[in-house]
């Protein structure tokens, strides 16, 4: 089955710096790669996603890149702010005909943005 590795497990940056989180996946059939942010006491919430037919996607200060050949994808946060402090999870899924879409997560990265 699919296995998603995520690095680093913790990341500390100064406000205004950039943060990069990297993930690799094992199943070449995976075709959907979302990123979730989990704030303290809450469930994870989608912040950006990318599908396998796209190499890069950007939404304001957040961008995701995908390298299908190497089977890795990354989250980039620019101009970090204290409110970006949270745990970030990458995930991979394979939408196959028939409706079975198993969403597998990495172990998470705790990002701390220091003022």
Partner 1 sequence: DVKVTQSSRYLVKRTGEKVFLECVQDMDHENMFWYRQDPGLGLRLIYFSYDVKMKEKGDIPEGYSVSREKKERFSLILESASTNQTSMYLCAAAGIGNTEAFFGQGTRLTVV
Dihedral sign, Cα of residue 103, residue 55, residue 62, residue 84: positive
- Residues in contact with partner 1, counted by CB under 8 A, come to a total of 28
The yes or no reply on residue 46 touching partner 1 (CB under 8 A) is: yes
CB of 105 to partner 1, least distance (A): 4
Strand 10-14 to 109-114 pairing: parallel
Per CB under 8 A, the list member of 19, 23, 85, 108 interacting with partner 1 is 108
Rounded Cα distance between 104 and 4, Å, is: 7
Note the maximum CA span of the chain: 48
State whether the Cα torsion 114-88-26-64 is positive or negative: negative
Closer residue to partner 1 in complex, CB, 63/95: 95
Nearer to partner 1, 5 or 79 (CB): 5
Q: Decide: is 112 part of the binding site for partner 1 (CB under 8 A).
A: no
What contacts 1, CB < 8 A, 6 or more positions away?
A: 27, 102, 104
Q: Is position 89 an interface residue for partner 1 (rule: CB under 8 A)?
A: yes
**Structural contact between residues 48 and 59, judged by C-beta atoms closer than 8 angstroms:** yes
Q: How far is the CB of 28 from partner 1 (least distance, A)?
A: 16
Residues in contact with partner 1 by CB under 8 A are 1, 6, 9, 31-32, 34, 36, 41-46, 49, 51, 89, 93, 95, 99-108
């Amino acid at each position: 089955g699919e296995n998603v590795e995520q690095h680093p497990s913790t990341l500390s940056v100064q406000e205004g710096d950039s943060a990069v989180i990297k993930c690799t996946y094992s199943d070449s059939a995976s075709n959907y790669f979302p990123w979730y942010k989990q704030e303290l006491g809450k469930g994870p919430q989608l912040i950006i996603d990318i599908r396998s037919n796209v190499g890069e996607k950007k939404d304001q200060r957040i961008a995701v890149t995908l390298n299908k050949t190497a089977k890795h994808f990354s989250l980039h946060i620019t101009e970090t702010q204290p409110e970006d402090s949270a745990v970030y999870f990458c995930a991979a899924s394979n939408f196959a005909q028939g409706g079975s879409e198993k969403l597998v997560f990495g172990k998470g990265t705790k990002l701390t943005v220091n003022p």
